[in-house]
Chain A
Amino acid sequence: MSCFEAKKKVVKAKIVENTEIAKDIYKIVLRAKEVTNGAKAGQFVNVYLNNKSLLLPRPISICELEGDNITLVYGVVGQGTKELSSYTEGEEIKLSSANGNGFNLEDMDCVLSDNKDKVVLLVAGGIGVPPMLELAKTIRKKEDDEYKRNRIRLIAVIGFREEPFLQRELQNYCDKVYIATDNGSVGFHGNVVKLIEKEDIQIDYCYSCGPKVMLKALTNYCIEEKIQNKQKVIPLQVSMEERMGCGYGACVGCICKIKEKDIENNCEKIVLKKVCKDGPVFFGNEVVFDE
């Protein structure tokens, strides 16, 4: 087999910025041309720590791509992310090429094909919010380039435990940003699905990223309930999170259950897919959320 194909890489990247933007939430900007080239919203990179006792890479979703710079926003949740938060401007860390499939934008095209204005909803919770920024940017750019005929009303509904982040950045691209917090300190007191219901947002297409419970509730709202009430199902994409080993598809540590059509036997079967390689983005109607 040819050994001249472009190989994926792990490269050294210089830290341009690494600052705390909310409690235990950090924004790191890295200069890595080889990584930003061809990367897209919804993909993630593996961040390798300099401390050799912390072996495994930390998979972190892409928050923003700007020229040679890649921005990641991560939560300090354990030893590894704590170590990452201690790195300062000018230091170097290792970074993988962008991994995973990213959000599917072509699928959205079909609901936008008529000449009417459409509502595209971005729903995210906690550390699931960062990938929505690059997605919002991408959708706006696509709208300028391709959808001259009809306008997308881009709405974000983002939920947090207490302190919101990236809301201002999202406002630059979204027509409206709704905020929910678990403790009610900012915005709506409750979860994002309840907020969508309360505001009665009419959704034509939905993208989401966040904890499994949120994705499950949202899938239920966009799909199951609509089927039960004989209403039109809302097309939904979910970006799944799972504890990963290698982060590139070799170890099969991160799997999720996906419904697939068995064409031979004309029925539906459940297959195991790798979140890191086949995902992290799946269609809401194909994910099997365990109880």
Chain B
Amino acid sequence: MSKLDLKVNLCGVKLENPITTASGTFSARESGAYYDINELGAVITKGVASVPWDGNPTPRIAETYGGMINAVGLQNPGIDYFIKEEIPYLKNFNTKIIVNVAGRTIEEYCSVAEKLNDTDIDMMEINISCPNVKEGGIGFGTSTDMAAKVTKGVRAVSKKPIIIKLTPNVTDITEIAKAVESEGADCVSLINTLLGMKIDVNRKRPVVCNKMGGFSGPAIKPVAVRMVYQVRKAVNIPIIGLGGIMTGEDVVEFIMAGADAVSVGTAALINPTAPVDILKELKIYMEKHGFKTIREIREAFCE
């Protein structure tokens, strides 16, 4: 077997492989009970805000055909607890750490970013695309002007590379991508969940307490691939592609569309070992097609 080189470079941060965990679907202690976290290219944490958030009432989850809806609402213990308890635990592993940052205002995003400056993390991902919170989140991600302002604000205070996580719930995602690139985003990740809804026709009411929620899973993959493809043509910064990745071949699809790395999310909720299983499948695909590097996969794509 020839030696594969799966390394990828995200704005100067070198990942051993392109597999990362999508924010909100990974928890080091729980996921680590099923597989070896050292095998991941990077972990992307659950969103963390300047103060603890309670999230939404239950039920928070609904299953749909080939997908699911969640309305967790960014429940998190706040950045101080996170720095004290979570980061030291994550440092036990030999993988890159990307912290997802949530906020209700630009100041809140900035205060979290500033606190993370002095920690030993590799990058931060700014969540301007959560559909499950009333303030902040998607409100920033659906307006080019607001997306640019958040990026500018965080870029000014952050000493770490910043990834801006984009929402698909917009008319033209390339406009938002260009706006955040021009304000100094080092990388973009896309797509966050689509806004969805499920109604229980027997109980005659919405399934999740919040009525609407973030729709994810294999059902949304074609939308995600299309958006990664469009954004690749619009910006020059690296892209983390995500949305419905279930297999190694799905990863290849995102790389061909223009992603530099990928995140596995819903798949890990369905199968706890999905991130490492998908990595194995990616290697098998590369062997089969004679690819030695991730770059070769990208370059093999013909339009």
B-binding residues in A (CB < 8 A): 1, 3, 7-10, 48, 52-57, 80, 96, 242-246, 248-256, 272, 277, 290
Q: Is B169 part of the binding interface, using a Cβ–Cβ cutoff of 8 Å?
A: no
Task: Let me know if B268 and A246 touch, CB within 8 A.
Answer: yes
Docked-complex contact A248 and B33, CB < 8 angstroms: yes
Q: How far is the CA of A277 from the CA of B34 in the complex (A)?
A: 14
Q: How many residues of B contact A (CB 8 A)?
A: 42
Q: Are A250 and B217 neighbours in the complex by a CB distance under 8 Å?
A: no
With CB as the reference atom, state the residue of chain B lying closest to A242.
Answer: B58
Question: CB distance A55 to B75 under 8 Å?
Answer: no
The complex places the Cα of A277 from the Cα of B67 at a distance, in Å, of 23
Q: Is B93 an interface residue (CB 8 A)?
A: yes
Q: Which residues of chain B are near A56, meaning CB under 8 Å?
A: 61, 63, 68, 269-270
Cβ of B145 < 8 Å from any Cβ of A? no
A253–B36 touching, CB < 8 Å: no
Q: Which of B31, B66, B92 makes the CB contact (< 8 A) with A55?
A: B66
Which of B22-30, B109-117, B225-233 lines the interface with chain A? B22-30
At the interface, is chain B mostly helix, strand, loop or mixed?
A: loop
Among residues of B, the one whose C-beta sits closest to the C-beta of A9 is: B34
Residues of A within 8 A of B143 (CB): none
B58 with A255: CB separation less than 8 A: yes
CB distance from A68 to the nearest CB of B (A): 22
B142 CB within 8 Å of chain A: no
* B189 sits at the interface (CB 8 A): no
Contacts of A55 in B (CB 8 A): 63, 66-68, 217-218, 266, 269-270
Given A252-B55, A254-B58, do A10 and B272 touch, yes or no (CB 8 Å)? yes
Q: Does B54 lie at the interface of the complex (its beta carbon under 8 Å from any beta carbon of A)?
A: yes
CB distance from B62 to the nearest CB of A (A): 8
Cα separation A273 to B270 with both chains bound (whole Å): 21
Contact A10 B271 (CB under 8 A): yes
26 contacts between A and B (CB under 8 A): A1-B32, A48-B270, A52-B66, A54-B63, A55-B66, A55-B67, A55-B217, A55-B218, A55-B266, A57-B270, A96-B272, A243-B59, A244-B61, A246-B25, A246-B270, A248-B33, A248-B34, A249-B30, A251-B24, A251-B61, A251-B269, A252-B55, A252-B75, A254-B60, A254-B61, A272-B54
Q: Which residues of A contact B70 (CB under 8 A)?
A: 245, 251, 253
B143 to chain A, nearest CB (A): 28
Q: Is the pair A7, B34 in contact by a Cβ cutoff of 8 Å?
A: yes
Q: Which of B34, B35, B72 contacts A252 (CB 8 A)?
A: B72
CA gap between A244 and B25 in the complex, in Å = 13
Q: Kindly identify which residue among A242, A250, A277 contacts B272, using a CB–CB cutoff of 8 Å.
A: A250
Closest to A56 in B: B63
Is B293 an interface residue when CB atoms closer than 8 A count as contact? no
* Cross-chain contact A1 with B92 (CB below 8 angstroms): yes
In angstroms, how far is the closest chain A Cβ from the Cβ of B279? 15
Give the distance to chain A from B205, nearest Cβ to Cβ, in Å: 14
- Asked if B268 and A272 make an inter-chain contact with CB atoms under 8 angstroms apart, the answer reads no
Interface flag for B38 (CB, 8 Å): yes
In chain B, residues 170-198, which have Cβ atoms closer than 8 Å to a Cβ of chain A?
A: none
Asked if B60 and A3 sit within 8 Å, CB to CB, the answer is no
